[in-house]
């Protein structure tokens, strides 16, 4: 009887560490999925009006709080066309961004307080630590899938129509 217990106990002890590691990996994966899905809580729409007269509707996730802005699109593995993340800044400021822990290439559109696109950074490199600066004060940054700027014909000087930006104009700020 003792002989039969020994192999079973030995095997249980031998397998304990790999089993714990698998449980830890499963827990981390479930937390990652929960974090990614919680980022979609604040969805809205904005319009891009090109100087050529084209109008493009973009579904955006809002990054308003400091933690939402710090996280941004990190750890995402895909971003649908006509979707993006809008980082709102009040008061307007010079914004510096990077692609750390961002797995997908993006186009970054920098928007002033009047809704005008003042700078575009196309095809940013995933996982890069290179700083991408607005160089001027902006009220918002729109991140969209890489190639969207080219595909939609968006350029500096085009306008973004979004309630957050229009509120400031109505108040005369």
Query: pLDDT tens for residues 96-129?
Result: 999 999 999 999 999 999 999 999 999 999 999 9
Q: Which band of pLDDT confidence, cut at 50, 70 and 90, is reported for residue 92? A: very high
Q: pLDDT tens, 130-146? A: 999 999 999 999 999 99
Both 98 and 152 in one domain: the answer is: yes
Q: Based on the domain organization, do 107 and 166 belong to the same domain?
A: yes
Provide the domain count of the chain: 2
Contacts of 151 (CB under 8 A, 6+ apart): 81
Q: Give the structural domain span for 96.
A: 41-171
Same domain? 8 vs 50: no
Q: Residue 88's domain is classified under what CATH number? A: 2.60.120.1140
**Domain co-membership, 23 together with 50:** no
Pair (77, 34) in one structural domain:
no
3-state secondary structure the chain: CHHHHHHHHHHHHHHHHHHHHHHHHHHHHHHHHHHHHHCCCCEEEEEEECCCCCEEEEEEEEECCHHHHHHCCCCCCCCCCCEEEEEEEEEEEEEEECCCCCCCCEEEEEECCCCEEEEEECCCCCCCCCCEEEEEEEEEEEEEECCHHHHHCCCCCCEEECHHHHHHHHHCC
Residues in the chain: 173
pTM here is: 0.73
Whether residues 55 and 75 share a domain: the answer is yes
Indicate the Cα dihedral angle 119, 125, 131, 132, nearest 10°. 10
Q: What percentage of the chain reaches a pLDDT higher than 90?
A: 59
Q: Do 52 and 135 lie in a common domain?
A: yes
Rounded to an integer, what distance in angstroms lies between the CA atom of residue 18 and that of residue 9?
Answer: 15
Judge if 132 and 71 occupy the same domain: yes
Residues 26 and 64 grouped into a single domain = no
Q: Are residues 7 and 58 located together in one domain of the fold?
A: no
Judge if 6 and 57 occupy the same domain: no
pLDDT at 33 over 50: no
Domain identity same for 29 and 45: no
- Taking CA atoms, 60 is separated from 82, 88, 125, 147, 161, in Å, by 8, 11, 21, 17, 13
């Amino acid at each position: 009887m003792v002989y039969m217990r020994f192999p079973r106990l030995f095997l249980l002890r031998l397998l304990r560490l790999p089993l714990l590691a698998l449980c830890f990996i499963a827990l981390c994966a479930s937390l990652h999925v929960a974090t990614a899905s919680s980022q979609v809580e604040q969805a809205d729409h904005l319009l891009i009006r090109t100087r050529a007269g084209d109008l493009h509707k973009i579904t955006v996730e809002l990054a308003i709080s400091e933690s939402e802005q710090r996280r941004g699109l990190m750890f995402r593995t895909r971003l649908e066309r006509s979707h993006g993340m809008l980082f709102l800044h009040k008061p307007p400021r010079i914004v510096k961004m990077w692609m750390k822990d961002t797995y997908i290439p993006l186009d970054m559109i920098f928007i002033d307080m009047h809704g005008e696109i003042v700078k575009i950074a196309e095809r940013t490199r995933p996982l890069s630590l290179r700083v991408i600066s607005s160089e001027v004060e902006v009220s918002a940054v729109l991140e969209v899938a890489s190639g969207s700027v080219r595909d939609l014909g968006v350029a500096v000087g085009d306008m973004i129509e979004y309630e957050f930006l229009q509120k400031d104009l109505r108040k005369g700020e």
